[in-house]
């Protein structure tokens, strides 16, 4: 998971992180942006998340999944990171899964040609998807574009559903169902 400093929605980031770790996924939380020597990220509602690494230090690593949380201007900071965009392009070209929630699909994926034809985002940003994504997918809570191996979702209220779908795709459906049952979803 990649995190910019400031105004990222911690509910989305923590929900995704928590669900993936409950599914025994090895998750690296990477900080995007400056200062490059800091690993903590202050979020929109003053929550501080301690990252595992700075993005610049893990550029050569490979991942089964790369996920972007939303929030503004956090999603713009993700979009403005050439290193992150390069990682996402490599992930897509190797057929790896990637995803984004809230503003991030429209703000961080779309400008770089990384948003597939089946996608959604926060309703406040859905006008950016007009004529780019299939109209029927735009209002869905969670959208999986199998051919692009991209998963998108609308926002904080869909974060657990989104994360459970990620587990289903990168682990298996049984594990996703076990985690859902454990959290009474």
41 in Cβ contact with 114 (< 8 Å): no
What are the CA-CA distances from residue 94 to residues 55, 62, 87, 100, 125 (Å)?
19, 10, 11, 18, 28
* CA atoms of 14 and 173, how far apart (whole Å): 21
**Among residues 25, 43, 51, 102, which one is catalytic?**
102
The answer to whether residues 156 and 11 touch, using CB atoms and an 8 Å cutoff, is: yes
Active site residue 25: no
The strand pair at 30-32 and 53-54 is best described as: parallel
Which residues have a catalytic role annotated?
A: 102
């Amino acid at each position: 998971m990649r995190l910019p400093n400031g105004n990222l929605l911690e509910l989305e980031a923590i929900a995704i992180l928590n669900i993936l770790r409950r599914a025994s996924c090895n998750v690296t939380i990477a900080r995007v942006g400056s200062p490059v020597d800091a690993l903590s990220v202050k979020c929109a509602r003053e929550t501080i998340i301690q990252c595992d690494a700075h993005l610049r230090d893990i550029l050569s690593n490979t991942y089964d999944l790369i996920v972007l949380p939303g929030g503004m201007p956090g999603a713009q900071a993700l979009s403005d990171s050439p290193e992150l965009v390069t990682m996402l392009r490599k992930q897509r070209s190797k057929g790896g899964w990637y995803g984004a929630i809230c503003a991030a699909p429209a703000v961080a994926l779309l400008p770089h040609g990384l948003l597939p034809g089946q996608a959604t985002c926060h309703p406040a940003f859905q006008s950016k998807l007009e004529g780019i994504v299939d109209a029927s997918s735009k209002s869905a809570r969670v959208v999986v574009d199998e051919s692009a191996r991209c998963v998108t979702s609308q926002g904080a209220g869909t974060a657990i559903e989104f994360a459970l779908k990620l587990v289903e795709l990168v682990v298996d459906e049984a594990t996703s169902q076990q985690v859902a049952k454990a959290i009474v979803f």
